[in-house]
Amino acid sequence: MLSSFHFSYSIIWPTVWCFLSSSFNGLLGLFYAPAGLLGRGSRNEDIEHLGDATAVESKNGSVISSAAELNKPSTPYPKSIRYIRVPGEWEQRTNPQTAPNHPNIPEPRPGEIIYVTKGKFLAWGGTAMIERLPSGIVIKTPLPNPYCPPEEKDHQRNMRLEAQIYQRIGEHPRVPSSVNWNPDTCCLTMEYLENGNLRDYIRQNHRSITPWLRLQWARQAAEALTVLHAVDVIHCDLSPRNFLLDSDLNLKISDFGGASLCGSEPSAIPATRFRHPRYDWNVTPVFGDDIFSLGSLIYFIMTDCYPHQEVPSNEVEKLYEVQEFPDVSHLICGTIIMQCWSWQVDTAQAVYDYLKAVDKDCVL
């Protein structure tokens, strides 16, 4: 019997969340997280943590017939869900020793979903799994969940929204290039950005990042947000993980699946340290919500730290309520950061103009 390697991810989805998704469309976004369904404000530091893959060996007797094949379980909704990834046709061609021509696909046990890979795994989030195709581009596939069709439809809806926003923006240096959109599978292909997301890059390279590069990123982040607001898009989840870096370390904004388009209801909210104290889930988001988040983003860029990083999230909310923000007086961008936090700046364009002037006038 042939053996194959697959990767597993554990995601906790209690049955109650399927009920919420089907009964209260949009409420699910308040609780949804890639490592489970939690109250977004209850977690500490950065909200979304990308899944880590762990390799395990599997022996089975089924045969993969398509790179997009999904072996759907038929058991009742389980207490938890585990995604099992098995090699697709691309891996059979590129790695025949570890992915034979006729690999076996395991029969899913209760709580398992079998996913046949399209490319090299990069990351997964609340809506989609991200892989790099053999051609070099990236494909974003909505997470399947046959145990809860309404939730699966939510993922597909978010992908449709993201594709619509990419189309609305068009080509821009502060936004990843969209290569193709498949409305049948809700899969989006985009350019691959070599240096990953801003959060991880800063964490791994903070000692070598120059003040000039930090200022460039702050300016480019404001420019990117200006691009979104110009087409009536409110991101609703600005954070360092949602900005990507190309080969030249230029910043690009990404992940629009939870956004608000033309006043639509978003399926995401900002993380605690990126969310102003007056934020109300039941109220249509405004540009100022993103601008507050932009202040926290610039703070992270300039300091390598989240605002009040050592303070639990629930305490951060209390500090924000009484306008107690981190000291920024020593930062070159401190004035504009505080203006973002205190709602003293109205547009992302104003933030961009300020940072552009700082970049021009200041010798770092």
Rounded (to 5) percent helix, strand, coil in the chain = 35, 20, 45
Q: Which of 302, 172, 158, 287 is nearest to 234 (CA)?
A: 287
Do 222 and 348 lie in a common domain?
yes
Q: Which of 53, 55, 130, 120 is nearest to 93 (CA)?
A: 120
Residues 161/230/260/277 CA torsion (nearest 10 deg): 150
Do 295 and 215 lie in a common domain?
yes
Do 33 and 119 lie in a common domain?
yes
Q: Which of 324, 351, 319 is nearest to 337 (CA)?
A: 351
Do 132 and 266 lie in a common domain?
no
- Give the number of other Cβ atoms within 10 Å of residue 349's Cβ: 16
CA atoms within 13 A on the CB side of 340: 32
Give the residue from 145, 165, 190 where a domain finishes.
Answer: 190
Domain that holds residue 63: 3-190
pLDDT of amino acid 76: 67
Give the residue from 132, 155, 190 where a domain finishes.
Answer: 190
Do 321 and 256 lie in a common domain?
yes
Do 251 and 174 lie in a common domain?
no
pLDDT of amino acid 95: 72
Do 235 and 147 lie in a common domain?
no
Taking the chain (364 residues) in runs of 10, the rounded mean pLDDT of each run is 37 45 37 31 37 33 31 61 84 68 74 90 89 95 92 96 98 97 97 97 97 98 99 98 98 97 96 95 95 99 97 96 97 97 97 92 62
Do 96 and 149 lie in a common domain?
yes
Do 145 and 208 lie in a common domain?
no
Do 78 and 115 lie in a common domain?
yes
Number of domains, the chain: 2
List, for residues 261-281, the tens digit of each pLDDT value: 999 999 999 999 999 999 998
Do 288 and 166 lie in a common domain?
no
| Structure token digits, residue 88 | 């697709």
Give the residue from 190, 213, 240 where a domain finishes.
Answer: 190
List, for residues 35-72, the tens digit of each pLDDT value: 332 233 333 444 333 333 332 323 332 222 233 334 44
| Structure token digits, residue 130 | 């991200």
Do 214 and 340 lie in a common domain?
yes
**pTM, two decimal places:** 0.80
Which CATH number characterizes residue 291's domain? 1.10.510.10
